[in-house]
Structure 1
Amino acid sequence: MTEMFTFTAMVQKKEGDWYISSCLELNISSQGKTIEEAVSNLKEAVEIHIEREGLDLPIKRPFLTTFKVAGKRSEEKKPQ
């Protein structure tokens, strides 16, 4: 019987028109011109990876947290 498993995707906008999506559990990334396309491509890459590697599921999810560091805010560019 096939089950559904949940993975964590991080999506970042890169310069230009591309989004990069990364699966935090498997350290796999993909890209797309929209958020939806980037996540869809990542899902396909994860499915292929699981099949090829014969991974046991479920995979432990990462622990996510935040932290702060000191720094100076960059000044915004003013329109000319």
Structure 2
Amino acid sequence: MELTAILTPAEEGGYVALNPETGTTTQGETVEEAIANLREATALYLTEFPMELKGHPLITTFSVAEHA
């Protein structure tokens, strides 16, 4: 099963990792650790709440104008 990981820098250092399909969130000191922790948390979630995904997620970015 292919899922999405969104990583953002944490204020205290490291990264916060989110899987938007399940809502699972975790963190790690490195990108690799954050993804490994997210993989584990999401797998545990899916054992309790199985789900069927239809297709692959589309990931993109967009910009907004900065306000002064």
Which TM-score bucket, shorter chain as reference? 0.7 to 0.9
Unpaired stretches in structure 1, ≥5 consecutive residues: 74-80
Asked if the contact 1:24/1:62 (under 8 Å) is kept, the reply is no
Identity %: 33
Write the distance in 1 (CA, Å) between the matches of 2:63 and 2:29: 31
How far is 1:17 from its partner?
1.9
Letter in 1 for 2:13: D
Letter in 1 for 2:62: F
- The number of residues matched between the two structures is 67
Unpaired stretches in structure 2, ≥5 consecutive residues: none
Greater C-alpha Rg:
1
Which structure has the higher relative contact order (CA within 8 Å, separation 6+)? 2
TM-score, length-scaled by structure 1: 0.68
Write the distance in 2 (CA, Å) between the matches of 1:70 and 1:48: 39
Task: Give the 4+ runs in structure 1 shifted more than 6 A.
Answer: none
Match of residue 44, structure 1, among 14, 29, 40? 40
Write the distance in 1 (CA, Å) between the matches of 2:63 and 2:37: 32
The equivalent of 2:7 in structure 1 is 11
RMSD: 1.9
